[in-house]
Structure 1
Amino acid sequence: MIGKTRQELGQPRGILVPRFGVGQFSHQREAPCAALAGLVEHYWHVSWDMQGHPPQAQETLPHPNVHLVVEKDVDGIYGVQTARYSRLLEGQGFAFGIKFRPGGFQPFLRAPLATIADRRVTPDAVFGAAGTAYAARIRACANAGAMMAAAEAFLLERLPPPDANTDLANRLVAAIDADASMTTVDALAAASGLNKRALQRLFQHYVGVGPKWVIKRYRMHEAVAQLQSGTPLPLAQLALDLGYFDQAHFINDFTALVGKPPGEYGRQLPTPA
């Protein structure tokens, strides 16, 4: 929970290819210190070695989070991405990122997060010359642990004052994620005590997308997790549990986001190691 020091992290969600059949792939995460826990969800580091193997495509579903990412030859602050993210992994490489909480980057940007949705901006656009220096410092680190320590020091030096709306946005997104039965904005409004217009303003400013988008994306995360579990519910039951009136609409939405129907996606999942 927010406020704990180095809290335990659950399994990552939304990774469409959970395992590769060839090459080496590593994914590490670490929670922030207590002082940053209301702003940062976790630090992450991925590395791969596909030398001698064909390139492998990795895809992830979008989350309502901003990421500050540094790679070997590119860096950027990525606003909420509304489509699935695809990356072809070839040769050797790495990426290190800070995943901010849903409302956690707005105090650094000091502008509506909707202005950077589906966009990449350079670190210096937000942090000035210190942003460029930060990216160089990350690239100079010898390992993931050193990168995480450097990222934490960078943020602690720029710790913004508390913002009640940041905390509220975080709590509302967490409530959507935790309660699979919360499938409408009306339900969120009733649970939050805010009207729909106030919710829309809060989410556009502090999260970067509307509450309806967040609800639909987390339900799709649940659908993918079910299919990856090896014992998924029948599609008709899964669609009903996720708030769909019929299976056809669920399949259409899943296909549009994931790129293939749920049945085909499930059949193509690699078998457990």
Structure 2
Amino acid sequence: MQLEFLQPSAAVASLVTIFYLYRSDEPVIDGIERADVGQIRFMLKGQGQLFFPDGHAEPSCPIMINGPGTGAAAYRVDGPFHCFGAALRPQGWGALIGIPAHERADRVTDGEAVFGAAGTALLDALRGETSVEAMAALVERFLLACARSIPPEHQRLCETVRKWLAASEAPRVAALFDAIPLSSRQVVRLVNHYFGAPPKLLERKFRALRAATALADGGDPREVAELFYDQSHMIREIKHFTGHTPGTLASRMDPVLAMTLSPAAFNELSPPEQP
């Protein structure tokens, strides 16, 4: 199994947080992925199913657009499985996908239906490359050609939400409402549209993911638990958003999940590099 990460260039950093290339030549690959941001995944080899928090399952497709996750999901793929992916910023979801993110949360969207023949041609070209750098260069050109503009006020809202989530290990929704000169109803509607969930769920999601990252990086469980009401609350929240308890994060964590929880990969809240 191989998982490589690559930072996007400044030209697409407002759309994408990270590129990655996953390869496994096992005949069957089972795993768990944490509640994630929106993704575009190019299935270079393999096909399978995803199993979502509400219990429903969906098949993969050659170009797979995964909506933002509201809880951990499981997957099973008939290998060998090779996949190139791009993790999207909320602005990137709006500019590239166009569908309100909350309508596709915990869902798979057929990327060939969204991107058409140009997407299919890109997939074919990616299958002819071997390095994450060459694949990223192809995908960056494609994304820049596809991206639509989104209203400046929506861009500012997305950046305000990012800063709100990044500013505290336990952000509070009231602070977000205070920071945006809109009614609370408008804020919730726009946050749903770009982030795929209302502010309260984002607060829970990123607190749990931060806690899981800290524990996976060797943090003191007692200090991490201070972010929650009590220890049982911490266990429930981490289990919901990562599929693991704090104990299994340390002892039996899925290897791909371990990599995506590493501080180097967990950068959804990092500021975009300016072109």
TM range (shorter): 0.7 to 0.9
C-alpha displacement at 1:251, in angstroms?
2.3
Structure-2 separation of matches of 1:38 and 1:118: 23
C-alpha displacement at 1:114, in angstroms?
1.7
Alignment length (residue pairs):
240
Query: For residues 183-222 of structure 1, what are the structure 2 equivalents within 5 Å?
Result: 183-222=171-210
2:32 paired residue number = 59
Query: For residues 101-250 of structure 1, what are the structure 2 equivalents within 5 Å?
Result: 101-161=89-149, 163-234=151-222, 237-241=223-227, 244-250=228-234
1:35 paired residue number = 11
Q: CA RMSD in A?
A: 2.8
Structure-2 separation of matches of 1:189 and 1:248: 29
Q: Which has the higher strand share?
A: 2
Identical columns (%): 27
SS of the aligned residue for 1:35 comes to coil
SS of the aligned residue for 2:20 comes to strand
Structure-1 separation of matches of 2:131 and 2:109: 25
SS of the aligned residue for 1:128 comes to helix
1:93 paired residue number = 81
2:23 is the counterpart of 1:47: yes
Aligned residue type for 1:168: R
Structure-2 separation of matches of 1:181 and 1:224: 12
Structure-2 separation of matches of 1:151 and 1:143: 13
Structure 2: which 5+ runs fail to align?
47-61, 259-275
C-alpha displacement at 1:124, in angstroms?
2.3
C-alpha displacement at 1:50, in angstroms?
4.2
1:7 paired residue number = none
Distance 1:89 1:115, change over 3 A: closer
C-alpha displacement at 1:181, in angstroms?
4.3
2:255 is the counterpart of 1:255: no
C-alpha displacement at 1:174, in angstroms?
2.3
Distance 1:153 1:269, change over 3 A: closer
Distance 1:165 1:77, change over 3 A: farther
Structure-2 separation of matches of 1:76 and 1:165: 29
Q: Report if the CA contact (8 A) 1:185-1:196 is conserved.
A: no
Structure-2 separation of matches of 1:212 and 1:175: 15
Computing the radius of gyration from Cα coordinates, the structure with the larger value is 1
C-alpha displacement at 1:202, in angstroms?
1.0
Distance 1:233 1:260, change over 3 A: closer
Distance 1:264 1:182, change over 3 A: closer
Structure-1 separation of matches of 2:230 and 2:148: 46
Aligned residue type for 1:67: Q
TM-score (norm 2): 0.75
C-alpha displacement at 1:108, in angstroms?
2.5
Structure-1 separation of matches of 2:142 and 2:186: 33
C-alpha displacement at 1:166, in angstroms?
4.5
Structure 1: which 5+ runs fail to align?
1-24
Deviations 1:111-136 (A, max 9, x none): 32222212111122212222222222
Distance 1:165 1:28, change over 3 A: farther
Distance 1:90 1:158, change over 3 A: closer
Distance 1:90 1:269, change over 3 A: same
Structure-2 separation of matches of 1:169 and 1:131: 29
C-alpha displacement at 1:269, in angstroms?
5.3
TM-score (norm 1): 0.76
Distance 1:226 1:122, change over 3 A: same
Q: Report if the CA contact (8 A) 2:66-2:107 is conserved.
A: yes
